[in-house]
Structures are given as C-alpha cells and as structure tokens.
Structure 1
C-alpha cells in the first residue's frame, strides 16, 4: 500500500491560519510604524526638518494613530493596555487642541507651544509599540489558538452591569458625534458655540470618535451584526470629521487660483522667513512655534474726559521685530489689528488671536493690537467680561474715531517704535473686519482728515469675515459710509485680501463676496477673496489649522508684495 502524499495542487491554509498570518503581519507593521513615527517625531521636534519631510511624517503619523486603534481589537493577554491606549488617545484628542490653542492665544507664551500637548503624541506612539510587542508575543505563545478581533470572555455579574452602563454612556456619546458630524456637513444645522470649533479641530474630533467606537467594540462580546453596524456608524463619523483635512489639496488649489488671479504668482523672490508650504500636518498636531519678537503690553493711548468718551480708557499692545535680526521681510511696515466681538465685546490680546501678532512681528512688522470703545447694547456673547471703562453710547463713527486717535498717537510717538508709516496694513475679524475696512478706506479716501493723521499711507486691507453694514441690525448706528464701507470703495482703494468661511452663519458669505465685487464695479481689480470650505465664523482661532495657516501663507505674501 502506497503512503499518502500531500497534494501540491491543494491549499491547506485554513481561514484561521490565514487570519493568524495577517494578524502577525499587521502587528509587525504597526511595531515598525510606531517606532519610525516616534523617532521621526523626536527628530522633527528637535531639528529643523524640511516642510516636505514634515508632511510625510504627518501622513505616517496619522496612519499609525489610526492603525493603533485596529491593533487594540486583536487578541492578546493585556486588555488593560488596549483600554489604556484608547482612553489616552481620546483624552489626547481633547487636550492637544485645547492646550495648543491656549498656548497660541497666550500673549506671554513666547513659543506659542505646550510641552504637555507635544509630549502626548509620542507617548501614544510608545504605547503603540508596547501593545504591538505584547500582541506579537501572545500570538507566538498561542500559535494554535484562533485569532479573534474581540474579547470573548464572559464577565461576572457586577462587571457585566458596569460594562453595560459604560456602553450606554459611550453610545450616547457616539449619538452626539453623529449629530455633530451632520452639523459639519449642513450649515443650517446648529451645534451652538461648538460650530465655531468643529471645522478647524475636526481631525482631533474625528480621532476622538474613532477611539470611542473602538472602545465600544472592545467592551462588547462577539456580536457580528450589531458590531458591524456600530463600526460602520463610528467609521462614517470619523470620515466625515476628516473631510476638511482630506480636501486640503483641493482647498489649496482653489486658494492659489483665487490669489494669483488677482495679484499674480506667489513664488517670485520669496524671503526665506516665509512659510514654504501653506499647510503643515505636524504643525497642526504639535502647534506652530513662534520666532523671536518684542512685546510691550497695555500702553494707554487715550483717556476720555468729556462727552460720550467720559471715563473711556483705551490701550494697545505693541509687538515689535527682534533687534538682533536684520533684513526681515516686514522692514518695519505697520500692521494694525482690530479685534471683533459684535462691537459690544472683545479685546486685544488673546481675544484677538495673538499668535498672528507674534508671527508678523517676528517677520519684521511693527504690529499694534488696538482697543476701541464698545457699544452698550446687548452683548454679542453674554458671558464675555467687559470692563466699564470700555463701554459707552458709542456709534460706529465713534469707534472709527477712537482708532483714528490711535493713529495720531502713533505718529506723535513713533520714535519709540521706528515704524514705517508709509507702509500700513489694517486687519480685523468680524466687527473688527468691518472697522478695518472703514478705517483703511476712510484714510485712503482722504475725506476724513479730521480723524486720521495724514502721515499714514494704507497699503492694504486684510478683513476676515467682515461684518460690513450689519451694525445697524443690533441698534448701533453711524454714518452710512462707515457702517457699510463698500460705499467708500473706488478705483484707487488699497488692495484687499479677504478671508471668509463658506459655513459662516453669523456673517453671511455674501457680505464678503459683495465687498469683492464692489471693487470690480469700481474698476479696481485689487481684491481677492479666499473661501474656506466648511469654515464657520472665527474659524481662524486655531493658528496651525488648514484655514488660518493657509490664509497666513497668502497674507504674508500679500503684505510683502504691496508694502
């Protein structure tokens, strides 16, 4: 009788062995990905890495962080590590954008970065390495066991109750995620104050909900149909929240076309200090560090002694170029920044997104962050603190006059700042954008010489979601031309670079579009409008986001071109 021989034409790999092979390969891949990402992160944070290499790191980092979530679903003997990773990941996605923003807005944080948020991402990568190693070691010692993606052990009664309660709370959290993701897609769906933050922080929010759904799956026993449904919903939420980042290439192309169609190419004679790329993934995650600048805070430029100004006290902060650097692109040109807040709240400093001031001061501009009187109407944000010395029966004309008082102070005290008054740019957001337009166009018109010093020459306007013509809607009056500055536009008006979010529900995008078209109607083709997809009101709070950083990329080129 002939011995049995193996038929080489048959495939003896069982589904279980195939899953085991895939599992081992995946775990080894994740071990390598976490290791490489960790080394690359340390290198990025400690050296001057090129933007191209940085974005490659960013892509690898994102893929690794996403892949680690799948890793936690694989069979192993240390569920504590899996749960610890997922909880830490969720907390990280909450903490990092908050601390990055706080550091960015903190006037006295000279680096604009948070050590804590910088440390959390490498910690996740290190933990991912440990989990990969434990999974590989478990599979090596249990090579004859079936590889599963979920824990199959039945908990005792008390643990069962606690687990069900936790799953219920996590499920409610996921439902909230579904609603918030829908609000991102449909600008008519309100998410309250969160609408401002969702688009610019959406990557972090998406990663939070990815961790949430994987934690739910880890806590559930094997229930294929319901697990598939939960996984599908969670992954859909993750993808929706990542849409703003996924469309960045198309967003950048549109921004480039919008800018160059008006002002020409941006790549000629660009100084070394400028951003090399419009968006940096590592900066989005770790924050954008600030270079050197000098800060002089709380300089009083006006005390009202009579009339409507009685008791009014106004101040500004000055951000000056570093004294130890020469040939900076700003060349001491002036940037006046006017805060928003519905003409009723707001302030210089953190409320005016101070990292923008830090950035341009480090580029060689003399930046002034200026206060003006606030109207004593219903506050735009009821909980916002406003000192009594800033409030009065002020009209738009009064607010413009207050900024004019600052210009007079600047001319009279320019020996302290060495500012180039022949090269002035004016910028602001929302109500500040409206005032920036009113002040800049009024100066350029030469019809308001009683308000503004003639020594200033406005070279450009940079309004962000400007609330032109909207002040009267809340009972704040003023002359027609200053309330709605499009009436001041003429063929000689200074160039304008405008920022506007497509999903702004406070200032309709048609306002910014009308501002641009008014320039054209007046035979002035020097106005460009950069639209930010999914962007809401104040979507420029997060400095390294795919909204603000992209705009800063063009703003610095605009100012250099026209200074």
Structure 2
C-alpha cells in the first residue's frame, strides 16, 4: 500500500509538471506570436541636423496581427508624446499599448518624428508652460510650440504617404484609418486631423490621450469623431483642453465622439489605458471604421 501511495504521488507530480510546462509553453506562444513587429522602417529621409539621434528620425514600427487577415487591416497611426523634446516610439508604455491594440485586429503604425524642441531650445515654448493653466486666451500657443506641432504634423503626413505607398504590401485598408497619440503626439494627431489641409488619406476618427488644441475654431461639422481620455488632475496639459474639444464636437452634433475624464489621475497614464480601456478603444474604432461587406 505504501509503495502504491508513493507511485501515485510520483504520477501526480509528473502530471502537475506536464500541466505547468504545457501552460507556460502555450503562454509563451500566445505572447510571442500574437503580434508581428517590424521595427525602424524608414518612411522618409532623415532630417539633416539630427546626427545619430534616432528619436528625431523619420522611422516607424509596424505592428501586425500574426494571423493572416481575411481582408485588409484597419489602421491606427500612433504618435508618441514627450513635449516635442523627448520620447520615442520604443518606450515601454507605447509598445505595450500598440501591441494590445494590434491584438484586436489592427495594423498599428507607431512613428518617431522630428522633435523640434529637442533640436531647438526655446524659452517658454514647452507644452507645460503653455497648457498647464488652461487654454490660451488668444487661441495661440508660443510660436516655438506652434512650430513644433506643425513640424510633427508634417512628418505624420509623410508617414501617411508611406502607408498609402505600402498598403498593398502589408494588406492595409487605407479607407479605414484612424490616428492617435499621447500628449505631444495627441496634439499632433489633433492638428493633423482638424487643422492641417492634408489630402493624402482620409482620417476616419481620432483617439486623443491627454492632448489638446490651442483653439477649436477650425473644427468643422464634417470632422471625424473623437475619443478623448484625459486625467482629471493632469498638471501638464490642463483637463480644460479635453472639455473644450468635447464641447465643440457636441456643438457640431458629431454624436459618435466620446470623452472619458479619469478621476484622480494625472498625465501620461498609459498603463491604465492598456490595462483597462482597450475594449473601449476597439469599440470606438470599430463603430467608426466598419468593415465592408
């Protein structure tokens, strides 16, 4: 009886080890094969004055679902933050967010772009100096910040051209394209969508993580819907920017637009978004970029 008991314990332990091994193996397969990432694809020539600074270079990372799609993939362009003086598409929070969105069936194009305020130190041009206390009364930022946004937007347009040129190679659906960003990247996404005159590709909707525009006057009734997340206690970009954007969307009767004010939260809360709001983002993108029958 004792021998049988020992054998049973050994068999149970073996079964347990096999179960753990298979579970870890499955988890590894899921984690590593869900998303394919092609890093540092060049979407335009490097700016001349940046030297070896890849954070200011015109490079993109392409996140694709591993499984071959039944039809062309909807696209989300993601623009990282950093106050136009720092940040990188390869930052841990950016990568985690892009992976989770791509896992929902999107091609995510995450870009680096020319960081004007990194290459040009200008007193009073930072986002914090211009935006922490609310919207500017004259509807304008410091000229240095305005220039930084415009230059980042120009690079975003170059990335849109790359997408247009390479859509067939990667099975990208250029009729289902959204644009997103965090902080400075959100400012760039908002400017590109609502203020620039780009005609490269139609932008169907925007996901705004704690960004803002100096003025909402340029937003028209035909504007794409907007999904905004903003920390209630953001001390860098005042939450008033989120409310101003949403107010304008409601005035224009763009009913698909949403606002999510995150109570007791501050700036750049990527971990919270990645863990809690991916389904909200997916629902918004799906409803505004429906697949064609």
TM-score where L is the length of structure 1 = 0.39
Tell me if structure 1 keeps the 8 A contact 2:47–2:57: no
Tell me if structure 2 keeps the 8 A contact 1:339–1:371: yes
2:160 paired residue number? 407
Would you say 1:293 and 2:46 are equivalent positions? no
1:503 paired residue number? 233
1:466 Cα deviation (Å)?
A: 0.6
1:323 Cα deviation (Å)?
A: 3.4
- Listed as ranges, the gaps of 5+ residues in structure 2 are 1-15, 128-145
1:344 paired residue number? 85
Would you say 1:321 and 2:37 are equivalent positions? no
1:487 Cα deviation (Å)?
A: 2.7
Query: In 2 relative to 1, CA 352–435 (structure 1 residues): closer, same or farther, beyond 3 Å?
Result: farther
Query: In 2 relative to 1, CA 494–305 (structure 1 residues): closer, same or farther, beyond 3 Å?
Result: closer
Tell me if structure 1 keeps the 8 A contact 2:210–2:267: yes
1:416 Cα deviation (Å)?
A: 2.1
Would you say 1:368 and 2:98 are equivalent positions? no
Query: In 2 relative to 1, CA 350–557 (structure 1 residues): closer, same or farther, beyond 3 Å?
Result: same
2:255 paired residue number? 525
1:436 Cα deviation (Å)?
A: 0.9
1:439 paired residue number? 192
Query: In 2 relative to 1, CA 290–434 (structure 1 residues): closer, same or farther, beyond 3 Å?
Result: farther
1:548 Cα deviation (Å)?
A: 3.9
- Bigger drift between 513-522 and 370-379 goes to 370-379
1:344 and 1:425 mapped to 2: Cα distance? Answer: 25
Q: Deviations over 1:363-399 (max 9, x none)?
A: 2211100111112236979xxxxxxxxxxx9532222
Tell me if structure 1 keeps the 8 A contact 2:80–2:87: yes
Tell me if structure 1 keeps the 8 A contact 2:34–2:67: no
Tell me if structure 2 keeps the 8 A contact 1:429–1:538: yes
Would you say 1:353 and 2:94 are equivalent positions? yes
Tell me if structure 2 keeps the 8 A contact 1:341–1:380: no
Tell me if structure 2 keeps the 8 A contact 1:320–1:361: yes
1:303 and 1:534 mapped to 2: Cα distance? Answer: 42
1:310 and 1:347 mapped to 2: Cα distance? Answer: 16
Tell me if structure 1 keeps the 8 A contact 2:149–2:191: no
1:332 paired residue number? 73
1:360 Cα deviation (Å)?
A: 2.2
Tell me if structure 1 keeps the 8 A contact 2:76–2:179: yes
1:424 and 1:364 mapped to 2: Cα distance? Answer: 13
2:150 and 2:183 mapped to 1: Cα distance? Answer: 17
Within the candidate set 446, 458, 461, 2:206 is matched to 461
2:112 and 2:29 mapped to 1: Cα distance? Answer: 22
2:265 and 2:90 mapped to 1: Cα distance? Answer: 23
2:287 paired residue number? 561
Would you say 1:395 and 2:135 are equivalent positions? no
1:303 and 1:403 mapped to 2: Cα distance? Answer: 13
2:236 and 2:32 mapped to 1: Cα distance? Answer: 31
1:333 Cα deviation (Å)?
A: 0.4
Query: SS of the residue aligned with 1:413?
Result: helix
1:536 paired residue number? 266
1 or 2 for the larger relative contact order (CA 8 Å, sep ≥6)?
A: 2
Bigger-Rg structure (1/2) = 1
Would you say 1:418 and 2:159 are equivalent positions? no
Q: Deviations over 1:17-64 (max 9, x none)?
A: xxxxxxxxxxxxxxxxxxxxxx9xx99x949xxxxxxxxxxxxxxxxx
Tell me if structure 1 keeps the 8 A contact 2:76–2:109: yes
2:106 and 2:265 mapped to 1: Cα distance? Answer: 28
Q: Deviations over 1:257-306 (max 9, x none)?
A: xxxxxxxxxxxxxxxxxxxxxxxxxxxxxxxx676111100011222577
Q: Deviations over 1:141-193 (max 9, x none)?
A: xxxxxxxxxxxxxxxxxxxxxxxxxxxxxxxxxxxxxxxxxxxxxxxxxxxxx
2:277 and 2:265 mapped to 1: Cα distance? Answer: 12
1:552 and 1:395 mapped to 2: Cα distance? Answer: 29
Tell me if structure 2 keeps the 8 A contact 1:373–1:394: no
- Higher-helix-fraction structure: 1
Q: Deviations over 1:56-111 (max 9, x none)?
A: xxxxxxxxxxxxxxxxxxxxxxxxxxxxxxxxxxxxxxxxxxxxxxxxxxxxx996
Q: Deviations over 1:467-505 (max 9, x none)?
A: 422xxxxxxxxxxxxxx4x23312111111100111111
Query: SS of the residue aligned with 1:302?
Result: coil
- Listed as ranges, the gaps of 5+ residues in structure 1 are 1-38, 48-108, 112-288, 382-392, 470-483
1:361 and 1:548 mapped to 2: Cα distance? Answer: 12
Q: Deviations over 1:428-453 (max 9, x none)?
A: 1111111111112246xxxx24xx41
The alignment yields a C-alpha RMSD, in angstroms, of 3.3
Q: Deviations over 1:416-437 (max 9, x none)?
A: 2221000111111111111111
Tell me if structure 2 keeps the 8 A contact 1:290–1:358: no
